[in-house]
Structure 1
Amino acid sequence: MNPLHESRLVSGGYLVARPAERAPFMDASLVPSRLQSASGCIAPIAPDTWAIDWASCDSAERSAAATRFGVPPERLAELIAWATRRFDVDFLWPNVFLTLEAAREFCATFVPADSDAFVLGLALASEDVEDFLQQTAPPPREGETGLHRCLARRLPPAEGGVRLGSEVLGAELGGTFHSYLCNGLERTFAQQLGARPNEHGLFDDHALARQCAAYAGHEDVGAEPVPWLAWVLLEYPRA
């Protein structure tokens, strides 16, 4: 494993997510049957914009999203009230918690004890932070995303997280992630760079993951035209 020391990491916030099943389009010889991801394209994440009362989501969409985390319909209104009250305080657009404590409070309040949901910490290597902040700075009169706000504090991740590996992620201006897996790049990374995912669907060698991220950003690759970087993922106990 590439020896990226935790002191060189800057926190990008915390997500509450569930493991994802390997999709049929993913290479089964490279990608594990269950994987962990910070991309909502790959893994369920809660809460998200559906949990904010003024967001443009219909009731069926809200209910389905909450049910994926074991939240019964009769508690949906309570969850929406909680997320809306905390929005822009410690729950940030579109789905990032500013602190580990806030993510754990959400889990303790709404996620059943037998759920496989977990708290996922996001972090960038310090040398990537300034470039990311410049590329994702909000236009005038627009609010910053949760990722931008968390990274701008330049604080290390909370202690107690277990490092799962590095995920190659492309960040949209709205603060959501695309994963390298969305683009079927696991085969290309293995063939061109010798990078193979670990048991979590992530990369153990962070320096190699950064090479993969640079490759994903090439125009001729055909991935989304967004900033691609290697993000370190850390798993934390829910309590």
Structure 2
Amino acid sequence: MKYYIGAYYLIKLKPLESGTIKGSKIYTCSRCINDSFFDSWAISWATTEKKEFEETKRTFNLTDKNIEEIQVWADKKLDEQKLGWINTFSDIKTLTEYKEKFFPKDSNFEILSISFPESDLDEVLEMTKPTDKLTGEVGIYHKLKTKEIDLEKDESLGYDIIGIEAGGDFHSFHCNDLTNDLKHKFGITINEFGLIENYANWNEIMEFMNDQEYGFEPVPWFYVKVNRITK
């Protein structure tokens, strides 16, 4: 099965704040669970609430001047289509430049990517494409439409199940505290990274996740391969 890269992320892991595996660190790119070094606050025209802005400065040890410098850089890279909404990088070169330029001393980070299976490619592209000419492309769509194949040269950590919002953000199955439910119902194995080991029949899990009767967020759910990139 071929996989196609959906985006690259620069993530700061943090322990789960609630649920049956509270305190665990999950290698997911979902902003519901982990912090992103690049986010809406890094874009000059994006709206960020003051409380969130101050929390971001504390989390990443930033000053107002630091953020202004990041916004100048990020606005330019967005125009060059090297960055995507809401917190994606289109390539490792841009991500590395960002990390080294603005967070050179921060060692608590992970460079992760998500890749979609070939069987879901058309559906994900259709679901994430702009709805009209005035709507910009979300980062996952922008990267995925290039159809860059995951060549498996990076370390594969396991599989996440993500529910994609219309704006490009996404949930993880951990947001619904589903670890034990999926273990009991499908016999999955969760590894040391908090991700699912490869599974023989993903279709049955995805039918379960996409059945709104079970109370999950009413968004399309997909399984993705998560890779860790070391530079």
Counterpart check, 1:69 vs 2:60:
yes
Paired residue for 2:91? 99
Alignment equivalent of 2:111, drawn from 119, 122, 127: 119
Preserved contact between residue 168 and residue 212 of structure 1 (Cα < 8 Å): no
Aligned pair count reads 229
Deviation string, structure 1 residues 145-183 (Cα, Å, up to 9, x no partner): 110111111012376421110100000010001111111
Paired residue for 2:74? 83
Paired residue for 1:17? 11
Counterpart check, 1:50 vs 2:41:
yes
Amino acid at match of 1:151: L
Preserved contact between residue 51 and residue 62 of structure 1 (Cα < 8 Å): no
Per mean C-alpha deviation after superposition, the further-off stretch among 190-199 and 58-67 is 58-67
Q: Following TM superposition, by how much is the alpha carbon of 1:64 offset from its aligned partner in structure 2, in angstroms?
A: 2.5
Paired residue for 1:37? 28
Preserved contact between residue 32 and residue 200 of structure 1 (Cα < 8 Å): no
Q: What is the CA–CA distance in structure 1 between the aligned matches of 2:199 and 2:39, rounded to whole Å? A: 28
Q: What is the CA–CA distance in structure 1 between the aligned matches of 2:117 and 2:45, rounded to whole Å? A: 35
Paired residue for 1:226? 219
Alignment of 1:204-219 (within 5 A): 204-208=197-201, 211-219=204-212
Q: What is the CA–CA distance in structure 1 between the aligned matches of 2:204 and 2:57, rounded to whole Å? A: 37
Preserved contact between residue 112 and residue 226 of structure 2 (Cα < 8 Å): yes
Preserved contact between residue 166 and residue 230 of structure 1 (Cα < 8 Å): yes
Deviation string, structure 1 residues 54-99 (Cα, Å, up to 9, x no partner): 1111455334224423444441211121112211420111111111
Preserved contact between residue 120 and residue 236 of structure 1 (Cα < 8 Å): yes
Amino acid at match of 1:203: I
Change (3 A) 1:105 1:78: same
- Structure 2, unaligned stretches of length 5 or more? none
Deviation string, structure 1 residues 187-219 (Cα, Å, up to 9, x no partner): 210111111321111011144555433311111
Paired residue for 2:158? 165
Q: What is the CA–CA distance in structure 2 between the aligned matches of 1:183 and 1:156, rounded to whole Å? A: 30
- Structure 1, unaligned stretches of length 5 or more? none
Counterpart check, 1:130 vs 2:122:
yes
SS at match of 1:14: strand
Alignment of 1:155-194 (within 5 A): 155-157=148-150, 160-194=153-187
Q: What is the CA–CA distance in structure 2 between the aligned matches of 1:67 and 1:96, rounded to whole Å? A: 22
Change (3 A) 1:81 1:152: same
Amino acid at match of 1:111: F
Among all aligned residue pairs of Structure 1 and Structure 2, give the percentage whose two residues are the same amino acid: 26
Q: What is the CA–CA distance in structure 2 between the aligned matches of 1:53 and 1:62, rounded to whole Å? A: 12
Preserved contact between residue 188 and residue 199 of structure 2 (Cα < 8 Å): no
Q: What TM-score comes out, normalization by structure 2 length?
A: 0.90
* Stretches (4+) displaced over 6 A: none
Paired residue for 1:235? 228
Q: What is the CA–CA distance in structure 2 between the aligned matches of 1:62 and 1:163, rounded to whole Å? A: 33
Q: What is the CA–CA distance in structure 2 between the aligned matches of 1:72 and 1:209, rounded to whole Å? A: 45
